[in-house]
Structure 1
Amino acid sequence: MKRFLMRWMGCGLIFYVGLFSGNVSAEPTIAESIVPRFIQGRNGTNSQRIPCAYWVRIGGLTANATYRYFNQVVRSSDSPTTDGAGNSIFANPDGFVRTSSPSLSTAGNHGEFTADGSGSFAGWMVTEPTGNARFIPGGFVFFRIMLNDGADGTAIAFRLTTADSLHVLKLDAESSDSSGTGLRANTLA
């Protein structure tokens, strides 16, 4: 019996060492975010678009790798593989770039960021509402960020979604639970 237990313990030790040694890379996740409570919206023609900025810290990235990304919004009913809707606006060091056709393979239709030495990135993302049905006033949406593999890939490798939702409001002279005359923000500072 002792011999039997020793064999099983040896197998367990080998399994344990094999499982927890080597380069273990985590899936990227949104570790922290600052998301506004409201986003402008209108289903159909939306000529009152107000871009909406949010801040994220993404962890679990490959250290010092450069990632391509674009960002949109989704509803809770969207599948985890749905990209979403909305125009992406990329805050680059030399100015803002807006696209209505986000793509990880076409220059100008995606942004780029480089993870730090610990595999983390923190920065601002901006999404512009469109006339898509996800922007129906009164509804709720979440921000979703599509990332490549961090190795110059052109396919979506990861879809990261914020935990907090935004309430969609229509700009209107009448005040209701799904409309208002404007949007304003107070800083947390």
Structure 2
Amino acid sequence: MLANVATAAPKLNELSRPALKDSTILRSTVSCPDCPERNCYKCTLGHNNTILANTGGLAYIRSIVGYQLPVPAKKVRKCTVQFPAFTTPLQAPINVTVSRALSSDWNEDTVSGETAPDSGDVFNTVQVPAYNNMEALDVTQACKAASASGEFSIYLGSQFGRFEIWSKDSGNPSILHTYYK
């Protein structure tokens, strides 16, 4: 007589931490009256109450968000990020994209379209239905590629359309959930 023995997968530990920094990065060929020299690439938006993304027309706007892993990257099994609600409900579905910033060496006071780190390829795309908020986004790939000090950054964008969410400066930072052994 054979008995099936099921063994449960070992439970992972979890630690959660708020974002350390976030900023909107403007890249546009049109004039931005509120930016130095009216040049959108020179805008520093690291202390605004919201971050946003927009694709379409003449503007390419993404947000960059920086985190600190609470454990060494080699222990990470999974990472997710939960962003706060959209500032206004989405009127139509949108695809939110996530890519890794190739450096976390940026500062909210000075980061702009001219100084922002380069971006890796999009590694996660999540469709958000109209009148919904984002689910937790899987950012495991970025966590595992964190620097030796545990810092990493991601870009949040949209395939088509625009969204705006609360930033850490509003008191509503995104939260990194790290699952590890």
The answer to whether the superposition gives a TM-score over 0.5 is: no
Q: Which protein is richer in strand relative to its size?
A: 2
TM-score, normalised on structure 2? 0.38
* Structure possessing the higher radius of gyration over alpha carbons: 1
